[in-house]
């Protein structure tokens, strides 16, 4: 649906280029056109609300994504522990962030909200457990 213009073929400095994005703010799905010189946004068109304009600027200058994934869990009722990035990760670094966690193992007990890894893949962003798991010898179920 959205055609993200390939940033790597950006025009020479100083030339205005138009980039298109699909706004995800509401079901309307406005098709945004962002005129920019590199990261300097000159104009956003196609939005129908203020939120849309802000989204267009953010998506062009510093697109970020909420990242959630899983890591190995040493013991517990399941093999994988769900985790998330403590803050939104730059879009270009999402794959590296997740790939850095390949093979990563966390031992129970874990509490929901614990930081289970710091500065993943050099992003400066920590990894947070999104559920609790009791120690293996604890006969209670931990949520």
How does strand 68-73 pair with strand 80-85?
antiparallel
Whichever of 10 and 90 has its CB closer to another protein, that residue is: 90
> Quick check: 10 and 38 in contact, CB under 8 A?
yes
How many CA atoms lie within 13 Å of 116's alpha carbon, on the beta-carbon side? 29
Tell me the three state secondary structure of residue 102: coil
Q: C-beta of 60: minimal distance to another protein in Å?
A: 14
Judged by CB under 8 A, which of 5, 72, 86, 114 binds another protein? 72
User: What are phi and psi for residue 41, nearest 5 degrees?
Assistant: -80, 130
In the region spanning residues 3 to 42, those forming contacts with another protein, defined by CB under 8 A, are 4, 22, 24, 26-29
8, 28 in Cβ contact below 8 A? Answer: no
DSSP 77: S
Work out how close the CB of 21 gets to another protein at its nearest, in angstroms, rounded to a whole number: 8
Residue 127 and residue 101 in contact, taking contact as beta carbons nearer than 8 Å: yes
Closest CB 15 distance from another protein, rounded Å: 25
Question: 36 or 106, CB closer to another protein?
Answer: 106
Contact status: 84 vs another protein (CB under 8 A): yes
Q: Is 100 in the site for another protein (CB under 8 A)?
A: yes
Residues 6+ apart with CB under 8 A from 29: 1, 22, 23
Q: Does 86 participate in binding another protein (rule CB under 8 A)?
A: no
Residues forming the site for another protein (CB under 8 A): 1-2, 4, 22, 24, 26-29, 48-49, 65-66, 68-70, 72, 74, 77-80, 82, 84, 91, 94-95, 98, 100-105, 112, 117-123, 127, 130-132, 134, 138-143
């Amino acid at each position: 649906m959205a055609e993200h213009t390939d940033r790597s073929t950006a025009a020479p400095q100083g030339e205005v280029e138009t980039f298109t994005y699909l706004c995800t703010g509401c079901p309307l799905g406005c098709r945004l056109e962002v005129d920019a010189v590199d990261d300097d946004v000159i104009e956003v068109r196609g939005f129908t609300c203020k939120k849309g304009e802000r989204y267009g600027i953010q998506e062009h200058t510093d697109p970020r994504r909420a990242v959630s994934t899983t890591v190995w869990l040493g013991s517990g009722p399941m093999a994988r522990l769900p985790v998330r990035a403590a803050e939104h990760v730059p879009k270009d670094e999402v794959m590296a962030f997740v790939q850095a966690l390949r093979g990563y193992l966390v031992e129970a007990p874990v509490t929901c909200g614990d930081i289970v890894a710091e500065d993943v893949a050099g992003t400066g962003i920590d990894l947070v457990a999104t559920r609790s798991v009791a120690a293996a010898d604890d006969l209670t179920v931990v949520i």
